[in-house]
Amino acid sequence: MDEMKHTQKAPYPIGESIPRIDIHAKVTGEAKFTDDLPFGPGLLYGRVLRSPHPHALIKHINVSKALTMPGVRAVVTGADSDEHIGLYLKDRFIFCRERVRFVGDPVAGVVATSEAIADEACRLIDVEYEVLDPVLDPIRGIQPDAPLLHPDLGDYVVADFIQPKPGTNISNHFKVRKGDIEAAWPKCDVIVERSFRVPEVQHVPIETHIAIARVDQNGKITLWSSSQSPFAQRNLISEALGVSQSDIRVIAPYVGGGFGSKAGVSVEGMAVVMARKVPGHPVKMRLTREEEFFCSFVRQGLIAKTRVGATKDGKILAMKTEYYWDAGAYTEYGVNITRASGYSSTGPYNIPNVWADSYCVYTNHPVGGPMRGFGMPEIHWGIEQIMDIVADELGMDKVEFRLKNCLRSGDINVTGMKMHPIGLTECIQKASKAINWGTDEPASAPNKRRGKGLAIMWKAPAMPPNAGSSAWVRLNEDATVSLGIGGQEIGQGTFTVAAQMASAALGVPMDWIRISAPVDTQYSPYEWQTVASRLTWSMGNAIVKAAHNARKQILDIVAKYWDENPEDLDIKDGQVISYKTENSISIENIVVYGLPQPDGAGWQGGPIIGHGNFMPTYVTDLDNETGQGERAVVHYTTGCQAVDLEVNIETGHITILNIASAFDVGKAINPEQVRAQIEGGVGMGASTGILESLQFKDGIPQNISFMDYRIATAVDMPKKVESIIVEVPQDDGPWGARGVGEHPMVPTAPAIANALTAAVGVRILDLPLTPEKVFLALEQKAMTQGKGS
């Protein structure tokens, strides 16, 4: 049977849709968060006492009652970890010291023999607070007389591309100054100005945050974490606790949904600090569903003020934007979201005169962090609506207006970067055609109105300029291939695409590939993070290099054995073949044991292990005052969504009939998975577009359960989603590929809003587009028209 398997053809070449790998059958190793794993009866549980106030000073903590409770093993406070932690800006403690900054801020932790005992003990901790005035709005936060939330901002460690403003609540201010904005306005025939608002929303992963930490008697730390960022977690915890990275091991089993919320560090740091109090005992830390809503990262809120000017022939001349990000109590990720929104502030438009200010503002709301799209869904909500309004003012078709102004290959974008080849115009044409743009179609009932709208987008991987990837391939005796990667499987199909690329680059059938999982920082090759839609591109390049390295070793051995030139040899379906002599030999066994020398004079070769790494070397700095530079990012993925919908004018309910989504992915390594990403992004974008909003009263979250926070279900999904793949190759991507994981979520909400306006003539500038909000807008429109008559 094995012999037959090793002579079959590679079944799944690059560019063909294949089923996802059965991750339980195709990986070497498995781990789940169940109490019968290696933790045993010594497993303890951690729970956290959290701040009830949005802003207060901690005057005194008394933990004596909690420590005397039966079953309690330890209590920790801010005194147990005195260094700041954070990715781009180190601005928070693992447990609060002196001050709390949002409802849910961790004040103390209890380690006990059960969650119930730990919860009860938390209630026995006495904390004396001095309540302070909160900042609950970013516009208020930037005022000179606003309460100062981080008086020590000037002392924090910060990445060199982030510009905090000490003495204020502004943790980053990113500027763009291109052309001459003031000289451009008088040349504009149409000028439109609007303000848009986007609320905080929650990622809502099926699996809440969970981590188990164990500290050995010698101080070495093992952390099992539901994580998108095992290597980043290791590094951040290492720096915060003063422990060598070599003494921290992070093991990351399969993640039950992330969407950005499981990047960086949240509960993991708390679990480690608690575990240090009980050496030898693993401590399990789990967020409840209610805690997940406000104690983990949320998507930041945004107030966007935008002004756009165009000539009567439809050419955009000027755009001025102010972004005020409600970044929450700590902004380790928010500062980079602010930066990304600044260098993407025009959307995918060619505009000669641009002025943009993007402010990351501390507030006393939950911590803003990465979420699918990393700021792009939020800014495109305003960009794509104001572009529709400008087109209306000009009396110009929305598709024609975008085709006239969108970026093309070779154009100079907002930061002065020359655009690499992109297929945005093709995306616009194909998406609009798919919904019969320009054709009026009847609604399904007298009380319904039908409309069509579209939105375009762009997004770059928002990451440091030197974020790297690595991989290894190790061949086994039977020629199966163990593939080591540090990228995480979070349901997006990473392992499948990784195996597909390794198979194609090495020249063996894909079902010979075995992913070495779970990701384990002690054994897996380094990967920066599973974020930014970068794995297919960045990790893919590392995989290809590792496979090519192993391939070269094999061909060199066989070439010497046959006395041929390696350049005349190839590996196909696990067989080394010669195009010159037509010799062939299976790689089985020789990839471990090698081949004999002529005349019995020893052996050559040996176990084959290939290594590869990738890091972009060409991203340049941007000027702090103008935001201009040669290459701000590695690349942009672009796309377009067109929406056909109906509105019930009696209830305000929106029914999405069809969404056509066209994205330029460079090269679809696995087209079926690309389509799945598009469908998932559309669903998530529609959910945040018509349903989702975290609501606060005086800084206190009000809707922290599925009873009050609705997310889209199958009944809310569009009746039809048409996924359109456009392929304009990326010059530095494997087979020309670039990422598409986040992008389909970006234009969904504004496309729906534009279609809503086309259907019923109301323009809503604040998300979400709930039935109540639509109904009230229709009522207001009717009242206004009545007064006018």
Q: What is the pLDDT of residue 23?
A: 41
Contact 500, 671 (CB under 8 A): no
pLDDT for residue 29 is more than 60: no
pLDDT for residue 330 is more than 90: yes
pLDDT tens by residue, 202-220: 999 999 999 999 999 999 9
Mean pLDDT of the region 668-691: 97
23/174: higher pLDDT: 174
DSSP-derived secondary structure letter, 189 = S
Q: What is the pLDDT of residue 16?
A: 78
Q: Which residues pair with 158 in a beta bridge?
A: 89
Q: What is the pLDDT of residue 10?
A: 39
265's CB contacts (< 8 A; 6+ apart) are: 85, 229, 232, 233, 236, 237
Q: What is the pLDDT of residue 15?
A: 82
pLDDT for residue 231 is more than 70: yes
Nearest residue to 487 (alpha-carbon basis) of 429, 450, 534: 534
pLDDT tens by residue, 167-180: 999 999 999 999 99
Flag the least confident range among 7-16, 102-111, 318-327: 7-16
Q: What is the pLDDT of residue 786?
A: 80
Residues carrying CATH 3.30.365.10, the chain: 2-31+467-614, 298-463+621-788
Compute CA distances 464 → 136, 317, 336, whole Å: 30, 31, 9
pLDDT for residue 439 is more than 50: yes
Mean pLDDT of the region 707-725: 95
pLDDT tens by residue, 735-749: 999 999 999 999 999
71/12: higher pLDDT: 71
Please name the fold of domain 40-132+214-286: Aldehyde Oxidoreductase; domain 3 (3.90.1170)
φ/ψ of 675, rounded to 5, equals -65, -35
HEC per residue, 324-380? EEEEECCCCCHHHHHHHHHHCCCCCECCCEEEEEEEEEECCCCCEECCCCCCHHHHH
Confidence of residue 14 (pLDDT cuts 50, 70, 90): confident
Q: Which residues pair with 356 in a beta bridge?
A: 176, 321
d(CA 726, CA 590): 42
DSSP-derived secondary structure letter, 417 = P
3-class DSSP assignment, residue 431: helix
pLDDT tens by residue, 336-368: 999 999 999 999 999 999 999 999 999 999 999
Cis peptide before 138 (omega within 30 of 0): no
Please name the fold of domain 2-31+467-614: Aldehyde Oxidoreductase; domain 4 (3.30.365)
Distance of CA 239 to the CA centre of its chain: 23
Flag the least confident range among 30-44, 325-339, 693-707: 30-44
pLDDT for residue 753 is more than 50: yes
pLDDT tens by residue, 277-312: 999 999 999 999 999 999 999 999 999 999 999 999
DSSP β-ladder status, 513-515 and 519-520 = unpaired
In degrees, rounded to 5, the angle at the alpha carbon of residue 751 between the alpha carbons of residues 749 and 755 is 115
Q: What is the pLDDT of residue 9?
A: 39
Q: Which residue has the tokens 């970006």?
A: 746
DSSP β-ladder status, 481-485 and 513-515 = parallel
Give the chain's mean pLDDT. Answer: 95
pLDDT tens by residue, 502-516: 999 999 999 999 999
Residues carrying CATH 3.90.1170.50, the chain: 40-132+214-286
What is the percent of the chain where pLDDT is above 70? 96
The pair of three-digit structure tokens given for residue 780, joined into one six-digit string: 């207001």
Residues in the chain: 789
pLDDT for residue 92 is more than 90: yes
d(CA 370, CA 332): 10
Predicted structure pTM score:
0.96
d(CA 599, CA 601): 5
The pair of three-digit structure tokens given for residue 671, joined into one six-digit string: 């087209």
Rg (CA), the chain: 28
Confidence of residue 6 (pLDDT cuts 50, 70, 90): very low
Cis peptide before 734 (omega within 30 of 0): no
pLDDT tens by residue, 390-431: 999 999 999 999 999 999 999 999 999 999 999 999 999 999
Domain 298-463+621-788 has CATH 3.40.50.720: no
The pair of three-digit structure tokens given for residue 644, joined into one six-digit string: 């056909």
DSSP 67-136: HTSTTEEEEEEGGG--S-B-SSB--B-SS--SEE-STT-EEEEEEESSHHHHHHHHTT-EEEEEE-----
Q: What is the pLDDT of residue 21?
A: 59
